[in-house]
């Protein structure tokens, strides 16, 4: 927390907005790690429903993680080349051809993959 004065000259404390971003990213990372590593909860059900062995289910999960790890460098290079974009680019894509730029091309490329 940092001190500053408002228009009336009284001191007030505020929280730098960057900490909200750090908090949101921490929460998202913890949540996604839980989703990624929580597949073990469903192994027993998948064994019964699909007749698959634990080895086969683990192989599928391991293959998924391997592909994810191998794709990350390519994904990073494409993001560097075309920009991360964001939801605003998707809105511009709906607004017509006047706003086509490199970043919106990157988003359209990822939406088709």
The pLDDT tens digits of the residues spanning 4-15 come to 665 666 666 778
With residue 15 as reference, give the H or E element that holds it. none
Residue 39 carries which DSSP code? G
Contact (CB, 8 A) for 61 and 69: no
- The answer on pLDDT for 21 being more than 90 is yes
- Structure tokens that stand for 69 in this block: 């790890």
Residue 97 carries which DSSP code? G
Contact (CB, 8 A) for 103 and 90: no
Return phi, psi of residue 68, to 5°.
Answer: -60, -45
The pLDDT tens digits of the residues spanning 29-75 come to 899 888 777 878 888 888 999 898 999 988 988 898 899 889 989 98
Domains of the chain, by residue range, sit at: 1-57, 78-113
What pLDDT is attached to residue 23? 93
- Structure tokens that stand for 108 in this block: 């359209």
What pLDDT is attached to residue 83? 79
- The answer on pLDDT for 111 being more than 70 is no
- How far apart CA 58 and CA 56 sit, in angstroms, is 5
């Amino acid at each position: 927390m940092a001190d500053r004065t408002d228009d009336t000259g009284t001191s007030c404390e505020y929280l730098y907005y960057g900490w909200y971003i750090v908090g949101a990213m921490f929460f998202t990372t913890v949540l996604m790690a839980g989703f990624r590593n929580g597949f073990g909860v469903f192994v027993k059900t998948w064994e019964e429903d699909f007749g698959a062995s634990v080895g086969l289910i683990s192989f599928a999960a391991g293959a998924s993680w391997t592909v994810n790890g191998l794709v990350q460098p390519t994904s990073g290079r494409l993001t560097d080349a075309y920009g991360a974009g964001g939801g605003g680019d998707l809105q511009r894509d709906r607004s017509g051809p006047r706003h086509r730029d490199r970043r919106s091309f990157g988003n359209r490329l990822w939406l088709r993959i």
